Structure 1
C-alpha cells in the first residue's frame, strides 16, 4: 500500500469514526504531490470536497500574529521582551495582572498567566448553546471589547510559570501591532506575511464579513452545551462532560461573524497557501535568523489541556521527539465553529501535509492517525 493509499484510508476512517462531514488533505513531499478527500462539503446536496476551497484556519492565525511581531522586532520597532505596559499602558493592570511583568514573548508563547479566554462568561453565554449561537452568530467584537474580555478573569499563574492556551494574549498582541505601526492588524498581516510569501488566497477576514469566497465547504458544529447546562460552571477540566449528547444533527454555522478571532485566529485561507506559509515558518525564509530562532524556541505544554506530545513556540507547535520516535515535525493549526485545520512538516520544509475538516476539533486521534499515515510515525506510542 502506498503512502497516498494509507492517507486516503485514514481520511475515510476518521470521517466514519468521528462524524466529520468532510475532510481534505494536500501533500507536498519533494516531487510528490497529492490531494485527497472523504465525506462531503455540503450535507444537504452531497457535494464533494474539492481542491482550492477557502476555509477559516482557526488559531493558525496566531502564527501570522507572531510573524508580524517578529518582523517588527527585526526592524527595531519593539522587542519581544518588552513589557506590555511599554506599548499599551494599563491594559493589563487589572484583576491581578501586571503589565510591567507580562512581556510580548509571554503573550505569543501562551505563558502570560492569562486565563483560557473562551471560558469568559461574555463569550460562553453568547455561544455555548445552539439557541445562543444562533442569536449571536453575527455579533461583532471591537478590539476594546476583546481586550476587556482577555483580563476579565483572574490569572491562572505567574508570567512565565507555565503554558496555558489563551486567545486573550493574542488579542493584546494584535493591539500592540496596531499601536506600534499605526495600521490595522489585517493590513500588517497582508504587508508583512501574505504579500511577501505570495499568499494570494489568504487574508484576515474583514470585521463585517460573515461568508467565504467560492469554492468553500459548508461548516457544521456540535460544539454546544447540553440544554440546561450553566456556562458559568465551565472549566478546562469539565467542559467535555457538559457538551450536548451525541447523535443530534449538526448546526450549519457557515455564515457567522468571526471578529471574536481577531489576532488569535481570523485568517481565511486554502490548503495550498497554508502549506506555503508553514514552509516559510519552518525554514525561516520570511524572517531573519535571530527571529526565526525565537519563533522555534519552545515551551512544554505538559500538564495543560492542549494538544499532547507537543511543545509550543510562538504561535506554532513542535511534536516532542520522544513521542515521534526521534522525528522532528513542526506544525500550525486551529479550530473554530465549523472548521478545523492543521498542517505539519519536516524541518527542511520539503515534506508537508495540510488537512481541513468542515467541523470543529473533536479529538486529537484523527490528526495523529493522518500524520502517522503520511510520515510513518506513531505519535505517543
Structure 2
C-alpha cells in the first residue's frame, strides 16, 4: 500500500486537506493509513476508528431500507409519491401522481437540486451566515417544503439531477409505510443485519460526535457580497471565497437538514462492510439487488465524472474503468468528505475520509489508481 500512502501524503501537501485517512480491505488482508492531522491547533494525528460524518453516503441506507420493504411486499418502487404522501408534491408544477419511488432514489424525479435553493444559500453560503445558522434544526415539514420550493428541472425519468429532496420524500415514505421512525427502520433493516456497531442515524438535536473523531474544517464559502440569487450549478465554483483564507472550525453543527439524504455517522470499517454487502448483493434479495444496480447516466447532471447512478449508490462506467466494475458511495458536508468504493464481488474495497469538504476529483481518481490499479477515464 505504499502507493496509497504516497497519495495520502500528496493530498495533505498539495491539495490543502488538513487530514486524511484511508482503509483498504483486499480479501482477508486490510491496511490503514493516515496523513495530516485531526486537529490543526494541537497537531493530534488522524487515527483508526474515528467517528465520521458520511454525508450523502447515507442515501445508500435509505435506498436499502426502501428495497427491504419492497422485498416484504410493503411497497413497490413503482408506487407514486401521491399514494404514500398525498398532496406532498402537488405544488409548484410537480405532480405526485407521475413521480415514483424509483424516480426519487435514482435522482430522476425532476426535482431541482435542493442544495442550490436560495433558502439554503442564504443560511450557510457565507461565513457570517454559517455562524448565525449552524445550529438551526430542520423538521420533516421544513425539508419537504424545501424539496418543492423551486420548479421542476425536467419530467420524471427524463434526466439525472442530484436532489436531496427526493431522498427526504423517500424517508417520509418509509415512515408512512411502517409507522416507525426513519432511524429505527434503518437500524433494523441495515445497521443491525450488517453488524455496523459504530454506525447510527444522527439524532436531530445532535451537534457533536463520539470520540475519537477529527475536527472538521471548512473553506467552502462564497465571497462576501455575492448575490446568492445568481447561484447556479454552472457558476458556483467561480463564486467561492479566496482559497488563501484560514479554514473555519465547523465541527459542531446541526446537520438535521440532511436526514434521509445523508445524516449517518460511521467509521471507515463499518462503511467498507456496507459497501461490500450492497455491491455484492449479500444484504438484499436478488430482485432488489438488481433494482439497486440498474443505473442511469449522470451526464449533464453536474455530478461525479464517469459515473452512473443506481438507487442511492453509484457505479463507474465500465468504459472508464477498462471493464472492471467499481461500486460505491460518496458524500460531502461541512468539513467532511467521505467515499467508499469497491469491486462488485465485495472482496476489494477502500474507504477514505478528509476533514474538509470535497476539493478535487483528482483525489478520488489517484487513490483508485493506487488501490486498484485502475485509471478512471483512460
The normalised TM-score by structure 2 is: 0.99
Runs of 4+ in 1 over 2 A off after TM superposition: none
Q: Equivalent residue for 1:148?
A: 145
- Where do 1:132-171 residues align within 5 Å? 132-171=129-168
What is the RMSD of the two structures over their aligned residues, measured on CA atoms?
Answer: 0.6
Out of 113, 118, 121, which is 1:121 matched to? 118
Distance 1:279 1:131 in 2: 41
**Displacement of 1:182:** 0.7
Give the deviation of 1:43 after TM superposition: 0.4
Superposition deviation, residue 31 in structure 1: 2.4
Structure 1 stretches lacking a partner, 5+ long: none
5+ residue gaps, structure 2, are none
- Tell me the distance in 1 between the aligned counterparts of 2:292 and 2:285: 11
Query: Distance between the aligned counterparts of 1:108 and 1:10, measured in 2?
Result: 33
Query: What is the match of residue 219 of structure 2?
Result: 222
Aligned residue runs from structure 1 range 275-294, under 5 A: 275-294=272-291
How far apart are the structure 2 equivalents of 1:155 and 1:31?
Answer: 47
Structure 1 residue aligned with 2:301 = 304
Cα distance in 1 between the residues matched to 2:143 and 2:95: 18
Partner of 1:378: 375
- Per-residue CA deviation, residues 101-131 of structure 1 (Å, 9 max, x unaligned), is 0000000000000001011121110000001
Distance 2:12 2:323 in 1: 29
C-alpha distance in structure 1 between counterparts of 2:285 and 2:93, whole Å? 36
Equivalent-residue separation in structure 2 for 1:326 and 1:144 (angstroms): 44
CA distance in 1, matches of 2:147, 2:344: 34
Q: Secondary structure at the match of 2:49?
A: coil
Measured in 2, the distance between the counterparts of 1:50 and 1:228 equals 39
Count of aligned pairs between the two proteins = 378
Task: Name the SS for the 2:146 alignment partner.
Answer: helix
Match of residue 368, structure 1, among 365, 368, 374: 365
The equivalent residue for 1:186 is 183
Quote how far apart the aligned CAs of 1:233 are.
1.1
The reply on whether 1:355 has 2:352 as its aligned counterpart is yes
Instruction: State the 1:32 CA deviation.
Output: 2.0
Deviations 1:143-167 (A, max 9, x none): 0000000000000000000100000
SS of the residue corresponding to residue 32 of structure 2 reads: strand
After TM superposition, the structure 1 stretch with the greater mean CA deviation from structure 2, 26-35 or 46-55, is: 26-35
Query: Which residue in the other structure is 1:339 paired with?
Result: 336
Q: In 1, Cα distance between the equivalents of 2:42 and 2:253? A: 21
Give the Cα separation in 2 of the matches to 1:32 and 1:196: 23
1:94 aligns with 2:78: no
